[in-house]
């Protein structure tokens, strides 16, 4: 006869971002399109209910109302740093799984907004909350990866990926400044920041751009993409150069226009520091390039 416990119906942008990453990565690695579709549906939900297109800002949460409608609180809670970081990571993962450039474009827009709201130009790294909140005495920066990795740990890799997809080297510099800001803790107690330790390795080994030039619907292109996704290569970003010179990716990275399909076949290039490898058209050569 005890009253039923209250059901918490809130949906958080950050936690959904983590879930989207899981579905997108699993869908790509296991070639399970239903997982990628689930991630796409969740990302569309975030854009519809937890994003304000007028201001370009994320919202923290929404709630399930009566008859399974989605409701927002009378005064919506603005997104915190972790909401931006986990959603941006999710959108990069979703682009690599779906190759739909809209997710990539939104990720870069959110990264600009994150920089504007949370970056500390004096002490470097990102504050967990934005300036101007009268309820906060101090703006803090979390320095320990717990059940969730801390936002600054994840954002190092986000910034490196953002730089690869946009050509903006200032994001690489921001990643370096975050690692410098946390360097003493990384050196003395690295076990408290395992995600940032991993991001440090990514930073020093430089992310490689794996570019597949081909028709998205072509079977040879799909085989190359499956090959890339079947190999665990954490120091890479994947992009599809589909030949649409007016598309978002070509506008961000003009060098893509110089990469061509060899003999009319889907062709792969491995690029780093503004230099690309010779073209590769066989799956065996591509696998060897990814696993040197």
Q: Percentage of residues in the chain with pLDDT exceeding 70?
A: 99
Closest CA to 223 of 140, 283, 139: 283
SS (H, E, C) 201-229: HHHHHCCEEEEEECCCCCHHHHHHHHHHH
For 193-207, what is the mean pLDDT? 94
Given a cut of 90, is residue 206 above it in pLDDT? no
Residue 200 in domain: no
pTM: 0.94
In a domain, 240, yes or no: yes
What pLDDT score does 123 carry? 86
Q: Is 240 helix (H, G, I), strand (E, B) or coil?
A: strand
How do residues 72-81 score in pLDDT, each as one tens digit? 988 899 999 9
Question: Does 232 reside within a domain?
Answer: yes
Pairing of strands 236-241, 208-213: parallel
Is residue 230 situated within a structural domain? yes
Residue 63 has pLDDT above 70, yes or no: yes
Confirm whether 53 is domain-assigned.
Answer: no
Q: What is the mean pLDDT of residues 151-176?
A: 97
Q: Residue 60: left (phi > 0), alpha (psi -120 to 50), or beta?
A: alpha
How many domains does one find in the chain?
1
Q: What is the pLDDT at residue 84?
A: 98
pLDDT at residue number 273: 80
Q: What is the CATH number of the domain that holds 248?
A: 3.40.30.10
| Rounded Cα gap, residues 181 and 208, in angstroms | 25
CA distance 31 to 93: 14
What is the domain extent for residue 277? 207-292
Residues 32-59: tens digit of each pLDDT = 999 999 999 999 999 999 999 999 999 9
Q: Cα–Cα–Cα angle for 193, 230, 82, nearest 5°? A: 30
Judge whether residue 134 has pLDDT over 80: no
Question: What pLDDT does residue 200 have?
Answer: 96
- Tell whether 223 is covered by a domain: yes
Mean pLDDT in residue range 132-140:
76
Which of 104, 103, 200, 92 lies closest to 152, judged by CA? 200
In Å, how far are 57, 158, 183, 199, 236 from 114, measured between CA atoms?
9, 11, 22, 19, 23
Domain annotation covers residue 283: yes
What does the block give as tokens for 15? 């936690």
Residue 292 has pLDDT above 70, yes or no: no
Residues in contact with 250: Cβ distance below 8 Å, sequence separation at least 6, in sequence order = 241, 244, 256, 257
Instruction: Provide the mean pLDDT of the chain.
Output: 94
- Tell whether 285 is covered by a domain: yes
For the record, the structure tokens of 112 come out as 């600009």
Range name among 28-32, 176-180, 212-216, 230-234 with the lowest pLDDT average: 230-234
């Amino acid at each position: 006869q005890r009253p039923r416990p209250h059901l918490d119906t809130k949906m958080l942008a950050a936690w959904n971002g983590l879930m989207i990453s899981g579905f997108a990565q699993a869908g790509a690695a296991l070639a399970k399109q239903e997982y990628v579709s689930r991630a796409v549906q969740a990302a569309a939900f975030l854009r519809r209910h937890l994003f304000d297109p007028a201001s370009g800002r994320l919202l923290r949460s929404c709630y399930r109302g009566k008859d399974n409608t989605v409701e927002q609180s009378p005064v919506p809670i603005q997104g915190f740093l972790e909401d931006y970081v986990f959603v941006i990571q999710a959108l990069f993962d979703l682009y690599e799984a779906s190759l739909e450039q809209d997710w990539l474009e939104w990720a870069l827009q959110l990264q600009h907004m994150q920089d504007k709201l949370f970056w500390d130009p004096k002490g470097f790294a990102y504050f967990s909350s934005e300036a101007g909140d009268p309820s906060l005495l101090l703006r803090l920066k979390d320095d320990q990866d717990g059940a969730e990795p801390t936002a600054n740990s994840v954002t190092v890799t986000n910034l490196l990926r953002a730089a690869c997809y946009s050509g903006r080297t200032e994001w690489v510099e921001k990643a370096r400044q975050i690692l410098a800001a946390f360097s003493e803790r990384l050196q003395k107690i690295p076990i408290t920041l395992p995600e940032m330790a991993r991001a440090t390795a990514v930073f020093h080994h430089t992310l490689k751009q794996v570019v597949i030039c081909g028709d998205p619907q072509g079977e040879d292109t799909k085989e190359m993409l499956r090959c890339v996704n079947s190999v665990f290569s954490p120091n890479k970003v994947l992009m599809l150069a589909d030949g649409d010179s007016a598309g978002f990716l070509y506008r961000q990275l003009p060098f893509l226009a110089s990469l061509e399909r060899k003999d009319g076949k889907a062709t792969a290039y491995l690029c780093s520091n503004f230099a690309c490898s010779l073209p590769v058209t066989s799956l065996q050569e591509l696998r060897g390039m990814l696993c040197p």
